[in-house]
Amino acid sequence: NAGVTQTPKFQVLKTGQSMTLQCAQDMNHEYMSWYRQDPGMGLRLIHYSVGAGITDQGEVPNGYNVSRSTTEDFPLRLLSAAPSQTSVYFCATNLMGRSYEQYFGPGTRLTVT
Amino acid sequence: DAKTTQPTSMDCAEGRAANLPCNHSTISGNEYVYWYRQIHSQGPQYIIHGLKNNETNEMASLIITEDRKSSTLILPHATLRDTAVYYCIVRPLNRDDKIIFGKGTRLHILP
């Protein structure tokens, strides 16, 4: 039981490049979400999903796309990376009805130059 | 969700109890108090939650005032591994949408 996994752990992109951050969970949790965390700031919600085929925007969705084709996977896509997207990205999951108990992945540290 | 106010940082000596306060004066009747923590470079970790009664688990205790306008997270015997940012969140229990994290309290455990 791996819990919540994220790949890659580290990534450097040039401005304008695209990439996908991967998040996978094997806990059969319906709810998944993406956060970003910048130095000295708390976590800010980017996008979330309450189940396969359903996604919605969080606080800071601009510049990011998501999709949820399976329960297990919730990839985050950067279509055209910008230096302002340099951050640490965390994926989180929880069972529906237990949103107080989210499980977070180890994070992806992204640098955009 | 109700707004929360936490001190920016706190120190605590190793082995002593760490008491982390949180003000939530606009809390409404169906909102719970949750606590998470984030150890450096790791994802946040759920600690405890409560409505109005005091709660205790293997990690911590949560004391909520009778008027529910404030609460305190207590780590009974703090260790160096408890050095982290602690987030107090107020929201309805079974609302399955976004959780908004504030800036939290940076707790330093001193040897």
Residue-level pLDDT at B99: 72
Q: Does A38 touch chain B (CB under 8 A)?
A: no
Q: A53 vs chain B: nearest CA distance in angstroms?
A: 15
Contact A59, B98 (CB under 8 A): yes
Contact B53, B32 (CB under 8 A): no
Q: B44 vs chain A: nearest CA distance in angstroms?
A: 6
Nearest CB among A33, A42, A104 relative to B104 is that of A42
Residue type, B43: G
Nearest CB among B41, B42, B102 relative to A42 is that of B102
Interface contact B93-A100, CB threshold 8 A: yes
Q: Does B97 touch chain A (CB under 8 A)?
A: yes
Map residue B92 onto helix, strand or coil.
strand
Which tens digit of pLDDT belongs to each residue from B2-60? Answer: 689 999 999 999 999 999 999 999 998 888 999 999 998 888 999 999 999 899 999 99
Q: Which residues contact B14 (CB under 8 A, 6 or more apart)?
A: B78, B79, B80, B109, B110, B111
Gap between the Cα atoms of A60 and A94, Å rounded: 21
Task: Select from A35, A20, A25 the least CA-distant residue to A76.
Answer: A20
Q: How many CB pairs under 8 A join A and B?
A: 64
Which tens digit of pLDDT belongs to each residue from A14-57? Answer: 999 999 999 999 999 999 999 999 987 778 889 999 999 999 99
Local confidence band at B95 (pLDDT 50, 70, 90 cut-offs): low
Comparison of pLDDT for B77 and A2, the residue scoring more: B77
Q: A105 vs chain B: nearest CA distance in angstroms?
A: 6
Kindly list the residues from chain B whose CB atom is less than 8 angstroms away from the CB atom of residue A4: 43
Kindly list the residues from chain B whose CB atom is less than 8 angstroms away from the CB atom of residue A50: 96-97
Gap between the Cα atoms of B79 and B86, Å rounded: 15
Q: Does A102 touch chain B (CB under 8 A)?
A: yes
Q: Does B99 touch chain A (CB under 8 A)?
A: yes
Gap between the Cα atoms of A6 and A30, Å rounded: 17
3-state secondary structure labels for all residues of B45-89: EEEEEECCCCEECCCCEEEECCCCCEEEEEECCCCHHHCEEEEEE
- The chain B residue lying nearest A90, using CA atoms, is B43
Gap between the Cα atoms of A5 and A107, Å rounded: 8
Gap between the Cα atoms of A106 and B43, Å rounded: 5
